[in-house]
């Protein structure tokens, strides 16, 4: 029998008898059958070498109907029958559900079409340089006909941007943004969210910020805690106001705390002791030198004497 695509076949039908007869010898048929798009019926669950055409019986006179094609379902057999003269028989293999598992009509098929890859999800792995810089670039792709976003690697981003033939660049649009990972946590959250909103507006990607599920501090690098420090006093005081002497550590957010290392167990905060102001001697003011007494006027004293005459 000629080959028909599975989409043109209705399989797994069943008759209990008195409905169909074999077309070639008019003997009654009872059992599974299938129907093709031309309106013809064949015995067996699915097409195979044992299939034979069957025709329905007219209920009014129990006579076989020669023409059972429904004009509304009719297709030209030439549109679905393989016309290749080299095809002499159908060796298609079907499973029990009527699906084709192998066919000689496709076993020697060749095509000049090149296979293309579809962008796949990528999870960033930070390099030490990116950590030192406090930021890195993240890359994303959007399916052109859907509001579906996916994070991709730089190589995939570059392939989409340059429309590399090896990738489905016509099905996905690329975009990138700068993602901060160091600094004030609140400021960093707002900065990364703003970058996502910018992509949404610039590339017309509705709902893109929702892709992150408010995780705009993802990859945030906690500043290092300074541990194994020691004070001999004069630097910190405990919550009860006493001067603290001993091991301590400095937490990046909470400041100095009791203990050499930071633990989950509750431990006291240390308050810095304000250094006492040094005693600064005022610069002495220059005193005016005493002036020398003015020189005496005249050459000597005048002595008057009385003398009589």
Which of 205, 139, 206, 210 lies closest to 178 in space, CA to CA? 139
Tokens of residue 253, six digits: 């957010």
Question: Residue range 101-117: average pLDDT?
Answer: 60
pLDDT digits (tens, 9 = 90+) for 194-227: 999 999 999 999 999 999 999 999 999 877 777 8
State the Cα–Cα distance between residues 83 and 78, nearest whole angstrom. 8
State the Cα–Cα distance between residues 1 and 52, nearest whole angstrom. 9
Question: Residue range 235-263: average pLDDT?
Answer: 88
State the Cα–Cα distance between residues 152 and 175, nearest whole angstrom. 10
What is the predicted pLDDT for the residue at 164? Answer: 93
What is the predicted pLDDT for the residue at 200? Answer: 95
pLDDT digits (tens, 9 = 90+) for 155-176: 999 999 999 999 999 999 999 9
Task: Indicate the domain borders of the chain.
Answer: 6-107, 128-212, 226-272
Confidence grade of residue 10 (pLDDT, cut at 50, 70, 90)? confident
What is the predicted pLDDT for the residue at 65? Answer: 67
State the Cα–Cα distance between residues 150 and 129, nearest whole angstrom. 25
For residues 42 and 49, is the Cβ–Cβ distance under 8 A? Answer: no
């Amino acid at each position: 029998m000629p080959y028909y695509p599975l989409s043109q076949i209705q399989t797994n039908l069943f008759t209990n008898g008195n409905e169909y007869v074999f077309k070639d010898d008019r003997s009654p048929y009872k059992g599974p059958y299938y129907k093709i798009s031309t309106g013809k019926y064949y015995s067996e669950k699915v097409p195979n070498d044992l299939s034979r055409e069957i025709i329905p019986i007219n209920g009014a006179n129990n006579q076989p109907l020669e023409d059972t094609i429904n004009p509304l379902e009719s297709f030209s057999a030439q549109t679905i029958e393989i016309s290749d003269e080299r095809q002499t028989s159908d060796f298609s293999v079907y499973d029990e559900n009527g699906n084709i598992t192998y066919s000689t009509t496709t076993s020697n098929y060749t095509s000049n079409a090149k296979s293309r890859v579809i962008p796949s999800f990528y999870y960033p792995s930070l390099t030490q340089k990116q950590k030192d810089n406090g930021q890195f670039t993240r890359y994303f792709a959007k399916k052109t006909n859907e509001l579906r976003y996916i994070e991709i690697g730089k190589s995939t981003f570059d392939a989409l941007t340059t429309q590399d033939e090896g990738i489905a660049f016509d099905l996905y649009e690329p975009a990138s943004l700068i993602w901060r990972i160091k600094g004030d946590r609140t400021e960093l959250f707002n900065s990364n969210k703003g970058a996502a909103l910018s992509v949404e507006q610039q590339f017309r990607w509705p709902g893109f910020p929702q892709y992150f599920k408010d995780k705009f501090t993802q990859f945030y690098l906690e500043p290092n805690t300074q541990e194994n420090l020691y004070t001999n006093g004069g630097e910190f005081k405990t919550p009860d106001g006493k001067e603290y002497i001993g091991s301590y550590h400095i937490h990046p957010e909470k400041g100095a705390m009791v203990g050499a290392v930071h633990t989950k167990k509750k431990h006291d905060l240390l308050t810095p002791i304000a250094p006492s102001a040094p005693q600064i001697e005022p610069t002495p003011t220059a005193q005016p030198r005493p002036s020398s007494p003015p020189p005496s006027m005249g050459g000597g004293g005048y002595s008057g004497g009385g003398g009589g005459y």
